[in-house]
Structure 1
Amino acid sequence: MASVASEKKKQKREKHTLSELKAMGQQLLTSRAHVNNLPLLLSFITPNSPPPYALESLLSLQSFFTPLIPQLPSSSKQPDADPDPEFIYLTWLRSKFDELTQCLTDLAVSSQSDGALREVVLDSIMEFVKVGNAGKFNTSVYHKLLRAIVGLIISSVVRSELGVDDIVLDMLAEKYFNYVDVRYFTCSSFEKLARTLEKEVDKIVFSLTENKEVSQDVNDLVLRPSIELSIQKMYKLLACIQPLKDVEEKLEMWNDSGISSQDKEGKYKKSNDNVLSSKNAAKKMKQKFTKAWISFLSLPLPLDVYKEVLVTLHQSVISHLSNPIMLCDFLTRSYDIGGVVSVMALSSLFILMTQHGLEYPNFYNKLYALLEPSLFMAKHRSKFFQLLDSCLKSSLLPAYLAAAFCKKLSRLALFAPPSGALVIIALVHNLLQRHPSISFLVHREIGPDTTADTSAENNTPDGASKDLFEEKPGIDHFKNEENDPRNTNAMRSSLWEIDTLRHHYSPPVSRFALSLANDLAVRSRIPEIAVSDFSSGSYATIFGDEIRRRVKQVPLAFYKTTPTCLFSELDFPGWTFRDDHQDTSAKRKRVDSV
């Protein structure tokens, strides 16, 4: 039936020319007797209509409705038992106005719309938003527009075209998000959008759990493509909203009534730019901005959006929230996930701990568990290593914790690329400088003259040096697979891995490891190393540094006499080398003689 009705409307539209359409618009504007032209003009505002016809109809209808909007009754207002004919007429106009805003919304988000027409449509919608609620900001029309942009509830005409483009969102942000009230009501509508989407997700979860044939793990099934797309568009919309950065910023309002709010009696209180101070506006904007972000973070975010959010939070969100500590649940859950998600959540969590008093008892245990070989290939490894150095900067850290991090990092250096080994040496250097109580971890060769009384000379705790140096060489009590720093036995080990790096195949690594021992000898005069100088290194940076170095002496593979063997007997005391070829020749001679 719907297809038949649409086909009839299409045939009816095709009977009229553009000049006739313009004439009908003129008649509508001049006399109420031609009000029946309104539904016909309205039928041309569809994605299937030619752009000139849709534009001409839009201009006529906008000119017709703009002066009448203050007189139109509310959509929810019911007529009396004996209604006035004028009221019936205005109620009918209200229904047609609501239909017009819906058609304009569908036309704005449709991929079939012409670019220039889409911009005119958006401007018309925002004009209705400006004056469409008895002079106040029309939140219902604006909310309808945002719902269509994020693809929550729209007409079936454009339902299959979701995700084709985001031009209307870009135009909205570029042209109207510089107005404070538009940003304010965008955040206010965003809460409703998040609640609507959350209900849709709950319905899907309920339907899936009711179906016995579906597995219990419904998390992967909840995020249908349409819901994922809506969440992605909601994030893009939210990322475009900027709160008031400066309380002295000049307030620009799209609507003259400014930011209105309801009092306890349900009446609107007007707060225009002449009454509302910049400080109060910034406070109100912060509250709405915070609620919008908290409501968005409660949604089941796709992994790509999840990562983008974690990157954005510490850069442009936390500082503008009214109460940043509200992010602690989201960030602690993200930090507990592990892997790259935990690495990306560390920046925001560190800000909450250092600047907003967040207490997280298991923070260092989780941080210790993040130290894996794959970390050196992560995209955000540079920021992570800098934060790791900052987290271990406190001199109040217990010795066992500092020793565990030193030992774990040193063990990772054996598997890390040369750029990662350089970062590890810098981190270990700083830890040993900050915590002299673990200096006994520095590797020392055990010879016949070594005694067990060296603990006092090297600030070694009682028992640690005895266990380490009185046992057989080569035994390492460190438990590399243990995730709890308390149980790693790092205090009974030594940094033999750093000593191994002195023979690394990469010259920068071997030189840096060799300098570590020299720096520790003059600890009081050597400052800490800036980890940021090494955190973003790679094979390319190491190669570039090496080719720029000025080498005074170049080693050459030169022998004064031609070598007769691969190894010298001096390198292997107690071993005797023989030439099996000569023995075979002697045997052949004896066999031939026989």
Structure 2
Amino acid sequence: MSDNNKPPAASRRTMKLLLKQYKDNRVKNANIIVDVMQRLESNESGSITSAITGLHQIFTMVLIHEDIQLPRDNLPESVQSASEKFSTWLFARYTETHNRMLELLGHKEQGVQELALCCIVKLLQSEGQHPIKTTPGIYPFPIERLEALVSALVVDSVDNQHLITLLFEYLECQDFMYYSLMAVNRIVKAHKGKDITEVYMNNLFLFLEQFSLPEGGSSKLLIQKLLLYPDSDEKVQEEESTCEKKTSPFTLPYEQTSQCLGDIWEEVMKYSLTPDLHRRSLILLPDKVMPHLKQPVQLTGFFMESYNRGGGLSLLALQGVFVLISKHNLDYPDFYTKVYAMLEPTIFHARYRPRFFMLLDRFLASSYLPEYMVASFTKRLSRLCLVAPTPCLILLIKFIANLLIRFPGLRKMIHNPHATSVERDPFDADESDMSKTHASESSLWEVASLQQHTLPYVAKAASFINRNLPIMEYNIGEYVESTYEEIFERNCKLTVKENVPTTFHKPKGLFEYHCDQMSQDWSMV
């Protein structure tokens, strides 16, 4: 190869060698930063990922050694010293690197996108731990760089859900979560009055689903995770064990955070939600948003409209409506009547069946509910035992047992000699008014019939009515998601006695065995 065709010396050096040379003399070999940045323009993803890793290590060293010290009072370059000019140059290269990483979030290779995102977050952490600019009394989080990252992810035209998912572990940190929430609030306000795309909504919702605020602020957290101080939770535990108290480096401003969350959802509720986002909103609002709103009753229209639509939306809106009734004095006397009407065989095939039964257990937890109402629910569940899929039977049995434990007055329903069959049962299954169903006069003969079930563990569970009820209630959550696969695995583990007789006569063929009526009436063609 001729000298004219040889690649530049910098491009022939490996990244490992470049990093070693830079580490040996960060000032003399500062131009290595430019050489590595040029590799970001390569067409090969391997070269780009190597450059990203190299820049991350270089600027981590720069931040740790505090090589960037910006001149005070924005002095003109003509009066800056050599060290100040070098520091300004480093800061410009650091900013340029951050901007290039943001651009690489749109690279065609997903591996490059993900590595660039991780590099940005790690540099955010390093810059926060070794701030370039410090202001006394202000938490040194690089807010502007985080806002640029969030703005690059919550966009109108590119689906960035795979990248936003990578931030989930960081959103568990209170400082990262708080400043991300502020950034999302600014983005939502900037979109006010503009056309909202489905892509933008999907990106936005993925962020909203991960914001988990502690009620009352950071003081309510047993362990506070921080991005800039990852070991702070361990120190807090050590201080608590030694009865020492120390102020946390970051305190979540709860009032400001809850106000910000409310402002975001006030705008989101004005959007035209897709069916999927509508369902996700009904799941998200009761647990993660309503406890922090100053006026949750403003969501009444949204929940009531969803509740009245029927189907899956009605099921998902149950929790929000119940929260409004129990905690915010919403007057809705037909709530339990509509829940009672949902107890149909189709509920076992609904997508959100586990959620429904967990909520139903919560709805029927109050000791102030009238006995006739709980009796109607108990009898309705008992009747459903006759048509429910096998994986749901244990759930129904345990649910009924819990209601009998919770409401001792219903134990008279276990044995009622006047109700032993459908014909003699006073319970009116078609009556929608629970005060007229006569459930209290009925018995749980449906549960008793399950004692003859072909699966031994179902028959054993149903035999609870023949014994004294336990003191503690069963954990319904253990049974809400039972499947046929679990039933199969359970039965495969059962021990079977040896020499179990299966037939007394050895069959001669498919339709030829002893005393078989079918072989006499049918033949193979």
TM-score, normalised via structure 1 length: 0.52
Counterpart of 1:203 in structure 2 is 194
The one of 425, 428, 436 equivalent to 2:409 is: 436
Distance 2:105 2:441 in 1: 68
Residues 508 and 341 (structure 1 numbering): CA distance in 2 closer, same or farther, change over 3 Å?
Answer: farther
Closer, same or farther: CA 335–73 of 1 in aligned 2, 3 Å = farther
- Judged with a 3 Å threshold, the aligned counterparts in structure 2 of structure 1 residues 528 and 382 are, in CA distance, closer, same or farther, namely farther
Q: Which amino acid aligns with 2:104?
A: L
How far does residue 546 in structure 1 lie from its aligned partner after superposition?
10
**Residue 396 of structure 2 corresponds to which residue in structure 1?**
424
Residue in 2 that maps onto 1:186: 180
CA gap of 1:17–1:53, structure 2 versus 1, over 3 A, is farther
Alignment of 1:231 with 2:222, yes or no, is no
Equivalent of 2:145 in 137, 141, 155:
141
Q: Partners in 1 of 2:252 and 2:200 — Cα distance?
A: 32
Partner of residue 277, structure 1: 247
1:453-505 alpha-carbon deviations (Å, 9 max, x no partner):
xxxxxxxxxxxxxxxxxxx968875425x4x645x644698458728946966
For residue 380 of structure 2, the aligned residue among 391, 398, 408 is 408
Partner of 2:474: 530
* Contact preservation (8 Å) 2:125, 2:228: no
Name the amino acid aligned to 1:402: V
CA contact under 8 A between 1:128 and 1:138: conserved in structure 2?
Answer: yes
RMSD over aligned CA atoms reads: 6.4
1:244 Cα offset (Å): 4.3
Q: List gaps (5 residues or longer) in structure 1.
A: 1-13, 75-82, 154-158, 206-221, 259-274, 448-471, 566-594
Amino acid at match of 1:67: I
1:391 matched to 2:352: no
Alignment partner of 1:147: what SS?
A: helix
- Using the alignment, how far apart are the partners of 1:194 and 1:403 within structure 2? 49
Q: Which residue of 2 aligns with 1:254?
A: 228
Residues 21 and 57 in structure 1, CA contact (< 8 A), matched pair in contact too: no
What's 1:104 paired with?
101
* Number of equivalenced pairs: 445
Q: Distance in 2 between matches of 1:514 and 1:389?
A: 19
Residue aligning to 1:459: none
CA contact (8 A) 2:37 2:97 kept: yes
1:536 shift after superposition:
4.9
Pick from 299, 304, 310: which aligns with 1:329?
A: 299
- For the residue of structure 2 that corresponds to 1:204, the secondary structure is coil
Alignment partners' CA distance in 1, 2:225 and 2:389: 53
1:368: Cα distance to partner? 2.1
Against the structure 1 CA distance between its residues 549 and 41, is the aligned structure 2 distance closer, same or farther, given a 3 Å change threshold?
Answer: closer
2:414·2:465 contact (CA, 8 Å) conserved in 1? no
8 Å contact from structure 2 (residues 427, 437) kept in 1: no
How far does residue 189 in structure 1 lie from its aligned partner after superposition? 1.9
Post-superposition offset of 1:398? 1.9
State the 1:417 CA deviation.
Answer: 2.0
Q: How much has 1:145 moved relative to structure 2?
A: 1.5
| Residues 407-556 of structure 1 mapped to structure 2, 5 A cutoff | 407-431=379-403, 434=407, 436=409, 439=412, 444-445=417-418, 477-479=428-430, 482=432, 485=434, 489-490=437-438, 494=442, 498=446, 501=449, 506=454, 511=459, 515=463, 518=466, 530=474, 532=476, 535-539=480-484, 544=490, 548=494
Q: 1:371 to 1:528 in 2, by over 3 A?
A: farther
Q: CA deviation at 1:144?
A: 0.6
Partners of 1:392 and 1:241 lie apart in 2 by: 27
Separation in structure 1 between the aligned mates of residue 481 and residue 101 of structure 2, nearest angstrom: 50
Give, in whole Å, the separation in 2 of the partners of 1:177 and 1:431: 39
* CA 1:72–1:132: 2 relative to 1, 3 Å: farther
Say whether the 8 Å CA contact 2:354–2:481 is kept in structure 1.
yes
1:214-238 deviations in Å (ceiling 9; x for gaps):
xxxxxxxx52xx2244135424764
TM-score, scaled to structure 2 = 0.57
Q: Secondary structure of 2:194's match?
A: helix
| Separation (CA, whole Å) in 2 of partners of 1:53 and 1:383 | 47
Deviation at 1:143, TM superposition (A): 0.4
5+ residue gaps, structure 2: 233-244, 505-513, 518-525
Distance between the aligned counterparts of 1:54 and 1:508, measured in 2?
Answer: 61
Deviation at 1:191, TM superposition (A): 2.3
